[in-house]
Structure 1
Amino acid sequence: MHATVLNLAIFIFLVVKAPLVWGFSFSENSRSERLQNYLNIARQEKLWTDPQWLALGHYEKKYFSYTSPFTEGLFLDADGAKSPEKELLKTIELLYGENDQKLQCHYLARAQWLNQILRIDSQDILPCEERQAWKKQLNVQGVSLIFAASDMGNASSSFGHTFLKLINPENAANKDLIDYGINYAADADPREGALYPIKGLFGLYTARFTLLPYHQKIREYINLEGRDIWEYNFNFTAEETDFLVNHLIEMENARAPYYFFSDNCSYQILKTLEVVRPDLKLSQEFQYFTIPIDTVKKLTRVPSPLFVSRKYKKSLKTDYLESFAKLGVLQKKALDIAVTKLSIPDDYELAPLEKAQVYETAMKYYSLQAFTTNKDFDNEKYQLFLKRAAMGMVAGADYVSKPEPPEDSHDSSALYFGVGQSDFKSKNITYTSLKFRHALHDLEQQDFGTVAFSQNEMAAIEARYLNTDGDAKDFHIYKFTVLDLINLNPVTQLDKNFSWKFRGDIVNNMETFTDDKFSADIEASGGYSFDLALFERTRVAYLMTARHWKTSINSVGPELLLVSRLKRDLGFSLDLTYFGQRNSTDFLRARSKLNYTFRKNFDVQLAVENGINKEFESQLQLVWNFIL
């Protein structure tokens, strides 16, 4: 009996004390076994091929393998950016192994997905109280996509910009400015001059996600840069919204090369949305160019709607220019006086509506100036407000324009199918043509969704088949356009905006029908443009133009460019340039184009132009706009 009790006591002692002596415990073995079980399940199920895991790493399919552009701050395995398998196994090992499990509190989205799909034991899940407390304070209950209109004065924003807004319902109505925005952008400095677009083209900038107060972005875009804002509210569930926030937390240290035209803000926003809904796969539709306005269109065209609402915020500049454009000649003179004297003299014979419009335009001008100059004009606005208030209600003075949403504008890429006639070496020939334009917009096309009275043509190529007699070579590459940009920023009587043009072509100046001869054709212009009260909208520009073409011809001279929206669907331009030429005969170049939009994304264009040797060319084209 005593021996039995003694043996039992010794056994209990060994069970309790032995781990302290031998250096292991049953609980540690249990964690190790559970980890091995998690790894076995991952291998058996090949979870690294799961669309959700690929989305979490922002992986892209490259032929027979996957890669991620994020080269630092995201992956746990040394080869994680190139191997979803290694990254998954390393993630499981570090999040649930014998090491410090606090990585779970950084990789919240990964942990949330793995907890569910691997059925992680509750003993291996950290509560992450600090992170959860921060998320509770942030109180994100919804997400919106923000589209900022294009800015022709900024190379990186010439196609617009997109970012996300995190919605706290406590900031409803007019308090939404204290929400937060999620922006993906390059750590770049526009003051680098010519290096800025070059480095952006070749991915020499590093980009990252940042959390910024929404009012800061609104101030930057609407007040300082004069860019309108469109907000699209997603229909994400509470669980999807929470998962998105978790993913954004784990992306806070991630860095990737930034390419202005491909792997840019909009592309990575699409990749982020695919984390919430991997079946979207919209990023796969943008292989070479990712144009922000095109991503908005793609998101609005998915079979199952993603958005529940849309809101528009007008910039101070747009508001002012719209009011200014409504003023007549006498009203514009009165506006000069109102801004300087803060009152309109009685000898200006203006109707009550006309006078009210002048005062309201003057107040909008000072609101714009307050932000662009960072000066205080509250007193001026108050004095003008008193004058306007003294007039009481005036019918028609509160007119508000109804802008068309950017997703309803024509698509960015285009094919031009044309027939034309041209003089060549004193011969009249006809031809058929095919042109491809990668982006974005012709001057005469409908311009809502982009900068008014602008042109943004990039990466275009045109081929022609000449109808000639004999054994001539009939097919020719006619022209390759690198850039063709026009920005007619109007002068008002209160500010002197600068208008400019730039075009860079490689043109086939063939000497005969059989010999191709390519040379650069570069043209740059600068000057001022003004709004005219003609048709729906009309703007005329007075420019000085310099041109280098046909290898050795250098020209300079004045240019008059008239652009008009005759009707909503009908655009017209007339361009007259007198070239004084250093080593050739001076000549007047006259060209004109008429664009009729007969259906969304379909236009008919008629263009005529004269050449240096009394040549004349006319062309009729059918234009099909689409998203590449």
Structure 2
Amino acid sequence: MKIYSFIIFIFFIASFNLQASATLKQLAQHPTWLSLGHYKKPAFNESYITNTSFFISSRGATSPFEELKATVQNFNKDPLTQCKYPARYTWLQKQGLTFTQPKTSCIELEQWRDVQPIHSISLIFASGYMSNPASLYGHLLLKLNRSSAKNNKLLDYSINYGAHVPDNENGLVYITKGLFGGYKAGFSDQLFYRHQHNYGEIELRDLWEYKLALKNDDTKFIANHLWEILGAQFDYYFADENCAFHIAQLIELVIGEQLTNNSSPWMIPTTVFSKLNQATYNNKKLVQEVRFTPSRSTVFIEYMKKLTSKESTIAEQIYKTPEFLEQDDFISLNIKSKKRIIETLFELAQLQQIKKHNIDHIKSLKKALIKTRLTLPIGNEVHVSSYTQQAPHKGQKPSNMSVSSTQVNKQHNFGLGFRLSYFDSLASDVARIAFSNLEMVDTEVSILNSNLYLDKLHLLDLESFSPAYVKWPKENNLSWKINAGFERQNTLCQSCTNTFVMGGIGKSYLTNNNKTLIFTLANGYIGDLAATDNIYDASLELGLITTLYSDIKLRASHEQFILENNEKSSTQAEISIPINQNFDIRVSYKHSNLTNWKLKLNYYWQ
């Protein structure tokens, strides 16, 4: 009888273990568990996290099941495992699992998460920054909101994902390693005021905050998972496994695969915000509110708009000669005008200090402004109630396909185009730097007499004109451009081609109420060049970019080459006519030896 009882007991235990193992295998394939381990789709046999210390099982980086089994075992024998993996613990309990160890107190986690309770989550978009290759497309942050009536939002937690880059890293090395996974990366947390100060006050980048309508349990779940991965390491790839991708995946823990659900080989912050605006949560819109925080330079431009023509002239005189504050032209002004001028000049002085321009002069100016301001009544005169900047989800989508019809010397051909990303100087200004160009892998092919021609392959095409919105500070902002690729020069001859790397440097100026930019550049070319026997050439270029009407834009330029005796030159113009967020029409003209007319329809997608 005892033998039969023992056999039945063993059979019961074995059946229980088999059932438990089957349950764990099912849970190991659950989307939430796979997301908690950051396993790569579609095979889920490798994690994005590269440091083995993150995983409990020695096989955890490649086996979701082994990691789950080890997690359950550790929750049953070591209560402190709950403190290291609070999101795993909460989720497994919701799946019906129970553990032999009682729930324990996690002092460090509770201090981080609960002393000033996290009540909601926002995603932050920082506009593009042309001085840093990793930020050309903008940047994405996650904000854990803890603010209340007593606590300022600047004390919220700001979660950043970024590469671990050595100080003073060479720019070319930085770009190369960033493209090919040469850096480790990870999540870090800081108080939000540090990021707002760095982006808005130092790098002069506008910020948009998208507050999400998540339930408290889901907000806490994301916060718990962030606690788990703050020490984790990832490989950093500039084009896809970047801040946009990994922060979007955190939100997908609770909303499902709505932000990264495409087969695109690249990931851009504006794409995430476009999808975020369309995402749903509990059958409602995920985004509860969008807020704009202007940079210091954006605020100054708005202050300048508040000045009358006379006030602007006097402000210029004071900036150049602070003693002008004691002249009758200023003293005779009414109090409101005086306050507007001084407040605007204070904003300008702050900008100049950030840029480290005219340091001694700015110190003298601020002293004179403070002395005069103390003689005036309290209270500000300049109030900016709204800004014209639009949120990033309203911007033009980054990728492009096109069809075109071209006429060169009475020959017509049909063309197709593809651009990987991101915008050109005639694109919408929404959520990007105006009068700038950032294009990668821009390709055009044409069909002529049943032959297929590669007309253009620009691997990288960058332009930054950096115009001064106020002329009198005399800032030395340089304009520059870089381009590398291949072009068929069909305005020179049918078989002429350029394979080149070029760069240009110069100046730009705003006019027409800041709607028109005039630029001049000195350009240098190296490569297999069609118009010269040398491997190098140089030119001077004069051009403009302007808004003709509403959102219709024109770019025109004349480029004079200077190293050959035959005085080669090129004149070109292009008009952009937007239809909606997804389409625009381009009409372009180019003339060298021959004349090229092109009509093109662009489709933008993400």
Common topology (TM > 0.5): yes
SS at match of 1:165: strand
Letter in 2 for 1:587: K
Structure 2's unaligned 5+ residue stretches are 1-12
8 Å contact 2:24–2:69 — kept in the other structure?
no
**Matched residues in 2 for 1:196 and 1:329: separation?**
46
1:390-424 CA distance string (max 9 Å, x none): 79998x9867533211211111111121111114x
**Matched residues in 2 for 1:379 and 1:139: separation?**
43
Q: Which stretch shows the higher mean deviation, 281-290 or 51-60?
A: 281-290
**Matched residues in 2 for 1:110 and 1:380: separation?**
60
CA shift for structure 1 position 301: 1.2
Q: Report the equivalent of 2:548.
A: 566
**Matched residues in 2 for 1:329 and 1:615: separation?**
47
Equivalent position to 2:522, from 544, 548, 557: 544
Residues 594, 502 of structure 1: alpha-carbon distance in 2 compared, 3 angstrom cutoff: same
1:180-200 CA distance string (max 9 Å, x none): 101111111473221111110
8 Å contact 1:441–1:457 — kept in the other structure?
yes
Aligned positions of 1:111-122 closer than 5 A: 111-121=89-99
Q: Report the equivalent of 2:195.
A: 217
Residues 290, 41 of structure 1: alpha-carbon distance in 2 compared, 3 angstrom cutoff: same
Q: Report the equivalent of 1:201.
A: 179
Aligned positions of 1:364-443 closer than 5 A: 364-373=347-356, 379-383=367-371, 385=373, 400-423=386-409, 428-443=410-425
1:78-119 CA distance string (max 9 Å, x none): 33222211211121122224xx34222101101111122143
Q: Report the equivalent of 1:95.
A: 75
8 Å contact 1:300–1:307 — kept in the other structure?
yes
Q: Which stretch shows the higher mean deviation, 122-131 or 111-120?
A: 122-131
Letter in 2 for 1:604: I
Q: Report the equivalent of 1:79.
A: 59
Q: Which stretch shows the higher mean deviation, 363-372 or 298-307?
A: 363-372
Is 1:239 the counterpart of 2:217? The answer is yes
Q: Report the equivalent of 1:263.
A: 241
Q: How many residues align?
A: 575
Structure 1's unaligned 5+ residue stretches are 1-32
Residues 518, 50 of structure 1: alpha-carbon distance in 2 compared, 3 angstrom cutoff: farther
Q: Report the equivalent of 2:10.
A: none
Question: Scaled by the length of structure 1, what TM-score is found?
Answer: 0.84
CA shift for structure 1 position 45: 5.4
**Matched residues in 2 for 1:476 and 1:575: separation?**
26
Q: Which stretch shows the higher mean deviation, 410-419 or 339-348?
A: 339-348
Residues 131, 541 of structure 1: alpha-carbon distance in 2 compared, 3 angstrom cutoff: same
1:47-103 CA distance string (max 9 Å, x none): 1110110111122213x4442211114222233222211211121122224xx3422
Residues 223, 409 of structure 1: alpha-carbon distance in 2 compared, 3 angstrom cutoff: same
Q: Report the equivalent of 2:604.
A: 625
SS at match of 2:562: strand
**Matched residues in 2 for 1:190 and 1:325: separation?**
40
**Matched residues in 2 for 1:422 and 1:525: separation?**
28
**Matched residues in 1 for 2:248 and 2:352: separation?**
36
**Matched residues in 2 for 1:112 and 1:434: separation?**
52
1:325-352 CA distance string (max 9 Å, x none): 7879876654342224334554589997
CA shift for structure 1 position 380: 4.8
Q: Report the equivalent of 2:505.
A: 526
8 Å contact 1:483–1:502 — kept in the other structure?
yes
Q: Report the equivalent of 2:267.
A: 290
Q: Report the equivalent of 2:20.
A: 40
8 Å contact 1:190–1:196 — kept in the other structure?
no
Residues 621, 134 of structure 1: alpha-carbon distance in 2 compared, 3 angstrom cutoff: closer
SS at match of 1:104: helix
Is 1:313 the counterpart of 2:293? The answer is yes
CA shift for structure 1 position 578: 1.3
8 Å contact 2:540–2:562 — kept in the other structure?
no
8 Å contact 1:443–1:454 — kept in the other structure?
yes
**Matched residues in 2 for 1:327 and 1:572: separation?**
29
**Matched residues in 2 for 1:185 and 1:56: separation?**
19
8 Å contact 1:58–1:272 — kept in the other structure?
no
1:18-56 CA distance string (max 9 Å, x none): xxxxxxxxxxxxxxx89x859825546511110110111
SS at match of 1:67: coil
Q: Report the equivalent of 2:276.
A: 299
CA shift for structure 1 position 465: 0.9
**Matched residues in 2 for 1:325 and 1:503: separation?**
36
CA shift for structure 1 position 123: 3.9
Q: Superposition RMSD on alpha carbons, in Å?
A: 3.3
Q: Report the equivalent of 2:574.
A: 593
Q: Report the equivalent of 2:443.
A: 461
**Matched residues in 1 for 2:186 and 2:279: separation?**
27
**Matched residues in 2 for 1:71 and 1:273: separation?**
21
Work out the percentage of aligned pairs sharing the same amino acid: 25
8 Å contact 2:491–2:591 — kept in the other structure?
no
**Matched residues in 2 for 1:287 and 1:249: separation?**
29
Q: Which stretch shows the higher mean deviation, 101-110 or 156-165?
A: 101-110
**Matched residues in 2 for 1:465 and 1:150: separation?**
37
**Matched residues in 2 for 1:401 and 1:124: separation?**
54
8 Å contact 2:258–2:279 — kept in the other structure?
no
SS at match of 1:581: coil
Letter in 2 for 1:405: A
Equivalent position to 2:39, from 40, 44, 59: 59
Residues 571, 346 of structure 1: alpha-carbon distance in 2 compared, 3 angstrom cutoff: farther
Equivalent position to 1:252, from 230, 240, 246: 230
**Matched residues in 2 for 1:354 and 1:465: separation?**
64
8 Å contact 2:397–2:582 — kept in the other structure?
yes
**Matched residues in 1 for 2:19 and 2:229: separation?**
24
Letter in 1 for 2:508: S
Residues 594, 390 of structure 1: alpha-carbon distance in 2 compared, 3 angstrom cutoff: farther
Letter in 2 for 1:475: L
**Matched residues in 1 for 2:516 and 2:500: separation?**
29
Is 1:147 the counterpart of 2:125? The answer is yes
1:516-547 CA distance string (max 9 Å, x none): x865132211111111025x611111221112
8 Å contact 1:206–1:256 — kept in the other structure?
yes
Q: Report the equivalent of 1:131.
A: 109
**Matched residues in 1 for 2:575 and 2:489: separation?**
26
Residues 600, 356 of structure 1: alpha-carbon distance in 2 compared, 3 angstrom cutoff: farther
Q: Which has the larger radius of gyration?
A: 1
**Matched residues in 2 for 1:510 and 1:621: separation?**
17
Q: Report the equivalent of 2:5.
A: none
**Matched residues in 1 for 2:370 and 2:518: separation?**
34
**Matched residues in 1 for 2:245 and 2:368: separation?**
44
**Matched residues in 2 for 1:160 and 1:386: separation?**
40
8 Å contact 1:420–1:431 — kept in the other structure?
yes
Q: Report the equivalent of 1:445.
A: 427
Is 1:478 the counterpart of 2:455? The answer is yes
CA shift for structure 1 position 566: 2.0
SS at match of 1:169: coil
**Matched residues in 2 for 1:340 and 1:513: separation?**
54
1:309-337 CA distance string (max 9 Å, x none): 11111000122244457879876654342
**Matched residues in 2 for 1:329 and 1:542: separation?**
28
Residues 130, 318 of structure 1: alpha-carbon distance in 2 compared, 3 angstrom cutoff: closer
8 Å contact 1:338–1:359 — kept in the other structure?
no
CA shift for structure 1 position 575: 1.1
8 Å contact 2:399–2:420 — kept in the other structure?
yes
Residues 152, 84 of structure 1: alpha-carbon distance in 2 compared, 3 angstrom cutoff: same
Aligned positions of 1:288-367 closer than 5 A: 288-303=265-280, 304-324=284-304, 334-342=314-322, 343=324, 345-346=327-328, 358-367=341-350
